[in-house]
Structure 1
């Protein structure tokens, strides 16, 4: 099963740069999962709350069963470990999602960052870079951050 998923995601993993056709659904799923994993890994801690939040976040835009989500997340973790930059993943999302969908993605990433109850400097930095690569303007990203922070119930003192 993992081999079949790797075959489906092969276009994303090519180091050749631009693709002629927009990314397919599987590539988009992997790109989304990898970015969520990058936010989860940013503080170098891996609390179960963040992992569960990533799984729940993946369920919203992508209809798949629990085993498929677990497999996608495991594969995304491996791909994230081998990735040298975010461009290949953000490019796939930018090619398929409009501005509103990319803003929802940024808010989802902020919510993963807040899932453990705090936001550290590495998480802020990763979020700044990803929002920029997703062409989400700083004011919109900050508004998304505040919504995610409020939803997580994290006080103002924890996340400047």
Structure 2
């Protein structure tokens, strides 16, 4: 019924849920953390690139286009819900833990963790139903490794 209505109204764009991938969801959340303190440090952007190439199938050659696509996608939405919903539907607790750890790595990349970065990571952790002990464990591992 909704598909018919969408066609009648001339909106043939694919549903957001159909175009979402794990890479896009994680990339958007990583970018949200890097922008949350209103100072997107170039080191944080490089860290995001490194994490995406290490943990996902984003090649170095495709990175520029992918980052632009993720950046555009994150500008379109004001909610974390589409990303966290996708993560909840498609990831194990271990994968969720690794995502939160990656978010902490981005936050710590500039040598400090801002209260706004902490807030966004805590919110994402809550939205993906990661146990609080795992949230704290990820934070402690990253801050210890970063010397913070």
TM-score normalised per structure 1? 0.78
2:140 equivalent in structure 1: 146
1:99 equivalent in structure 2: 93
1:125-140 to 2 correspondences below 5 Å: 125-140=119-134
Structure 2 residue 131 is the aligned partner of structure 1 residue 120 = no
Q: Which runs of 5+ in 2 are unaligned?
A: 1-13
Provide runs of 4+ in structure 1 moved above 3 Å.
none
Deviations 1:108-132 (A, max 9, x none): 0011000000011111111110011
Q: Which runs of 5+ in 1 are unaligned?
A: 1-9, 13-18, 155-160
SS for the counterpart of 1:60 is helix
Instruction: Write the distance in 2 (CA, Å) between the matches of 1:67 and 1:93.
Output: 26
RMSD of aligned alpha carbons: 1.8
Instruction: Write the distance in 2 (CA, Å) between the matches of 1:129 and 1:87.
Output: 10
1:61-80 to 2 correspondences below 5 Å: 61-80=55-74
Relative distance call for 1:147 and 1:11 in structure 2 (3 A) is: farther
